[in-house]
Structure 1
Amino acid sequence: MTASNRQKRLNSIKISKADTHQNLIKPTWPFQEEEGHARLTFYSKGGDTDMPYSKFVLIPLFIAAQATIMMVIEPTLGFVSWISFQAWAMYFLAGCSPKMGLKTFLGYLGGAAASIGIMQGASIFGAMGLANGTNLYLAVFIVVVLVISAEYVQWFDFVPSWFVGAGVFFGLMNLDIFTEGASIWAMYGQSTVKLMWSCMIGLAFGAVTVAFRTWYEAQVNTETADKQPPAVPAE
């Protein structure tokens, strides 16, 4: 690359200090689009519209009410609240859209399958004579290659949800929630059902949060715009 081309390249990626500062102070929730990544900006302090805390406080109150409701209904609906809270957050991280929520759900399911693959693979390799953890390491290596390759599989390409789902599945397998004498496959089945049901609850709560906040902040934004003085026509 010549010096001239290098300078043109540098100029093309320069960002002004003002733009950088504005982006740093603007609170955003991630919004992932089909092509590239964008940001879905909510209107709060430092954003496109300064929302006074007297209006903003309704948002944390609403989310706090959701969290309380989740805890109250947990025993009745039979899900695991800490898993649902994680899935709730994953809905935001995935992009705050139903499509990405579905991808998150499928990723959790894939994570459960990956965990089962690791445990079964370690057992098989152990029976083949691999010991001292080598059986587990080999199983992890093979399964992770397959998991990352899911980026090329439509609807299963949100790989972070695979990792979260797998981690939660391993956690469930270490809890004393199984019937006495249950086979390993029965334990896999119980953990998968518990994981996916809890994930579904969390994603539903996330969708409600986004729907409410989007609607409410649009109302505040409209109200603020209506109160702005009319523009003075240029002479």
Structure 2
Amino acid sequence: MKIKNHTPIALFVGLQACIIQIIDQSIHSMFPPEGNGGFAWVSFLAWATYFMAGCTIKDGVRSFIGFVIGMTAGIVIILLSGPFTSLGFFATPLAILIIATILFYLEIAPHMFSFVPSVYIACGAYFGCMTYVPGATFSSIFISELTFLTLGLFFGWMTIAFKTWYETRSSGEKVLD
């Protein structure tokens, strides 16, 4: 594709990124925990998983399922660290070792549950939010992260929808209006 043909798509993606940030700055204060700095970065992670998964609505659903599994795994890691507190420094690393090992088995699970990248991305983001966002609770981060992950998947879908529409239009093929 020539640069002049690619430019409208690139501008659309840039506009989308701008809009995600505007949405985040406009609504992040409505999401728990109070005083959070926003979660646009989570949307950008999800946007990337839409492409990694295969760029279809079914792949988006597959990513979404992985996000829920990943955030649940983050909760389990945190809870599992508790019984290991006697290990001090190694309490959380041991919990991560156990859960990360189990999560990798998802690779051989049925197709809709086997997208390991979305699981690890959501788990890492969840674990990070719980560690670094003041006032975070299991439910507040779950709700906020899932909302912004879903927003990212939607923007991934919009990117592909626009790109397909534009490329079809510019190639001269008839497009159904």
TM-score grouping bracket, smaller chain normalisation: 0.7 to 0.9
How much has 1:176 moved relative to structure 2? 3.5
CA distance in 2, matches of 1:176, 1:160: 23
Distance 1:74 1:135, change over 3 A: closer
Relative contact order (alpha carbons < 8 A, sep ≥ 6): 1 or 2 greater?
2
How much has 1:177 moved relative to structure 2? 4.0
Q: In structure 1, list runs of 5 or more residues that go unmatched.
A: 1-43, 45-50, 179-185, 224-235
Query: Is 1:146 paired with 2:105?
Result: no
Q: 1:68 is matched with which residue?
A: 18
Q: Return the structure number with greater strand share.
A: 1
Q: 1:59 is matched with which residue?
A: 9
CA distance in 2, matches of 1:67, 1:74: 11
Correspondent of 1:80 among 27, 39, 42: 39
Matches for 1:178-217 after TM superposition, within 5 Å: 178=135, 187-217=137-167
Root-mean-square deviation (CA), in Å? 1.8
Query: Is 1:158 paired with 2:135?
Result: no
Query: In structure 1, the residue corresponding to 2:12 is in which secondary structure?
Result: helix
State the TM-score, normalizing by the size of structure 1: 0.64
Aligned residues: 163
State the TM-score, normalizing by the size of structure 2: 0.83
Structure of greater Rg: 1
Correspondent of 2:64 among 88, 91, 105: 105
Percent identity over the alignment is 33
CA distance in 2, matches of 1:54, 1:196: 37
Letter of the 2:48 partner, please give it.
A
The C-alpha deviation readout for 1:60-115, integer Å capped at 9, x for no partner, is 11111111111112133336111101111111111111111111111111111111
Q: Return the structure number with greater helix share.
A: 2
